[in-house]
């Protein structure tokens, strides 16, 4: 317990003091860190559904887009405070995920494809419902994120502090669910869903809860991104990038661990943008692809389990 508290203290110290102090003056680096945390947030939500719910989703861009649009529209049209609009963005994505509950009857690739189809449906709705969403023209001048402490609204540091707080909140929720008796039941379901049903576990309810929770988390990150970028259009908000990159990041970092997806997202994004892009300005993504293949072949559990094993070996 003490070790865990110590680890958290170090992480919080690094995230809330060290990063703003060291990099705060460099807007470029801060914007890369914020973008990596946005991907990390989606990767965490995706991994929660996969790791605890046992469902592989290709449709998280639907939750991201809905959260973004709900928050942006409430802020623009109803003058909602940004904090409240972002929470509503999460709730909007959660409500949308209710429509996806029938897909829980499906398993494996069928679930993945069905949820992908939902993502396309919501993209088309956002495109065609012009009176509300302004169609393909999208929404511009979306109100910026609020000020945090003495950092002004929309500044890099205030945006960073908001997204890092969101991501840490997600980790705490994820951890709480994983360590609760719900988490135990979910893990048992992975071994044998029929057996857990026999002992009275409502597996459908638990899977539904994971889907709703994952959708809400993704929606809030989508809402954050809308207020950070200040622009939305259907192809961007519901784009495949919001599922492909987070999946790559989660698998790279270790999607069976809680911190893995976040670490994967930050490492993948920053290394790609700061290192590979400088070496290969175009086509640098190919290096990431190769590293991902190597990682899957030699450490299928991802980066974090690999580092943990190495650290333990050194300690021994």
Q: Of 106, 85, 103, 97, whose CA–CA distance to 225 is shortest?
A: 85
**Smallest gap from residue 124 Cβ to other proteins (A):** 9
Does 77 help bind other proteins (rule: CB under 8 A)? no
Task: Name 232's bridge partners.
Answer: 139
Does 147 help bind other proteins (rule: CB under 8 A)? no
* 149: Cβ contacts below 8 Å, ≥ 6 apart: 158, 161
Nearer to other proteins, 200 or 281 (CB): 281
Site string for other proteins, 163-202 (x = CB under 8 A): ----------------------------------------
Region from 26-34, 192-200, 209-217, 292-300 binding other proteins, contact rule CB under 8 A: 26-34
**Phi and psi torsions of 299, nearest 5°:** -145, 80
Q: Give dist(CA 37, CA 44) in Å, integer.
A: 10
Region from 19-27, 86-94, 200-208, 215-223 binding other proteins, contact rule CB under 8 A: 19-27
**DSSP type of residue 80:** -
Sign of CA dihedral 206, 210, 213, 219: negative
Does 315 help bind other proteins (rule: CB under 8 A)? no
From candidates 10, 13, 27, 309, binder to other proteins by CB under 8 A: 27
Does 29 help bind other proteins (rule: CB under 8 A)? yes
Q: Give dist(CA 171, CA 49) in Å, integer.
A: 13
Q: Measured in whole angstroms, how far is the alpha carbon of residue 63 from the centre of its chain?
A: 10
Q: Which of positions 230-289 make contact with other proteins (CB under 8 A)?
A: 230-231, 233, 235-236, 241, 273-275, 277-278, 281-283
Contacts made by residues 284-287, CB under 8 angstroms, sequence distance 24+? none
Region from 21-29, 64-72, 174-182, 246-254 binding other proteins, contact rule CB under 8 A: 21-29
**DSSP type of residue 231:** E
Q: Of 56, 131, 93, whose CA–CA distance to 224 is shortest?
A: 93
Task: Name 151's bridge partners.
Answer: 148
**Smallest gap from residue 136 Cβ to other proteins (A):** 5
Does 117 help bind other proteins (rule: CB under 8 A)? no
Q: How many chain residues are in contact with other proteins, going by CB under 8 A?
A: 34
Q: Which of positions 211-230 make contact with other proteins (CB under 8 A)?
A: 225, 229-230
Does 129 help bind other proteins (rule: CB under 8 A)? no
Residue tagged 């398993």 (tokens): 107
* 96: Cβ contacts below 8 Å, ≥ 6 apart: 62, 63, 66, 122, 215, 219
**Smallest gap from residue 44 Cβ to other proteins (A):** 18
Q: Which tokens sit at 49? A: 């559904």
Does 23 help bind other proteins (rule: CB under 8 A)? yes
Does 308 help bind other proteins (rule: CB under 8 A)? no
What angle is formed at CA 16 by the lines to CA 171 and CA 241, rounded to 5 degrees? Answer: 55
**DSSP type of residue 258:** S
Q: Give dist(CA 240, CA 226) in Å, integer.
A: 16
Does 299 help bind other proteins (rule: CB under 8 A)? no
Region from 76-84, 130-138, 212-220, 304-312 binding other proteins, contact rule CB under 8 A: 130-138
Does 26 help bind other proteins (rule: CB under 8 A)? yes
Does 22 help bind other proteins (rule: CB under 8 A)? yes
Does 141 help bind other proteins (rule: CB under 8 A)? yes
Give the footprint of other proteins on this chain (CB under 8 A): 22-23, 26-29, 31-32, 35, 38, 127, 135-138, 140-141, 154, 225, 229-231, 233, 235-236, 241, 273-275, 277-278, 281-283
């Amino acid at each position: 317990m003490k070790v865990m508290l110590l680890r958290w203290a170090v992480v919080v110290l690094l995230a809330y003091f060290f990063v703003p102090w060291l990099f705060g003056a460099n807007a470029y680096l801060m914007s890369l860190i914020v973008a990596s945390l946005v991907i990390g947030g989606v990767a965490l939500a995706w991994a929660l559904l996969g790791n605890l719910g046992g469902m592989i989703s290709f449709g998280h861009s639907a939750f991201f887009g809905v959260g973004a649009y709900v928050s942006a529209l409430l802020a623009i049209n109803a003058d909602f405070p940004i904090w409240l609009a972002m929470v509503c963005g999460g709730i909007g994505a959660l409500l949308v995920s209710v429509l996806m509950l029938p897909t829980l009857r499906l398993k494996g690739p069928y679930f993945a494809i069905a949820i992908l189809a939902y993502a396309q449906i919501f993209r088309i709705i956002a495109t065609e419902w012009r009176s509300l969403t302004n169609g393909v023209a999208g929404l511009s001048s979306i109100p910026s994120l609020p000020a945090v402490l003495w950092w002004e609204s929309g500044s890099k540091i205030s945006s960073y502090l908001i997204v890092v707080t969101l991501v840490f909140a997600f980790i705490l929720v994820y951890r709480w669910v994983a360590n609760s008796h719900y988490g135990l039941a979910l893990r048992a379901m992975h071994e044998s869903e029929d057996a857990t049903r026999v002992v009275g576990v409502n597996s459908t309810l638990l899977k539904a809860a994971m889907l709703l929770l994952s959708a809400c988390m993704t929606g809030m990150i989508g809402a954050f991104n809308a207020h950070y970028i200040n622009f939305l259009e259907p192809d961007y908000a519901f784009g495949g990038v919001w599922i492909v990159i987070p999946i790559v990041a989660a698998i790279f970092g270790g999607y069976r661990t809680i911190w893995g997806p976040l670490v994967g997202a930050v490492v993948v994004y920053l290394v790609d943008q700061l290192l590979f892009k400088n070496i290969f300005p175009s086509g640098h993504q190919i290096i990431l692809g190769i590293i991902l293949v190597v990682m899957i072949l030699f450490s299928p559990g991802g980066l974090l389990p690999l580092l943990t094993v190495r650290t333990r070996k050194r300690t021994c």
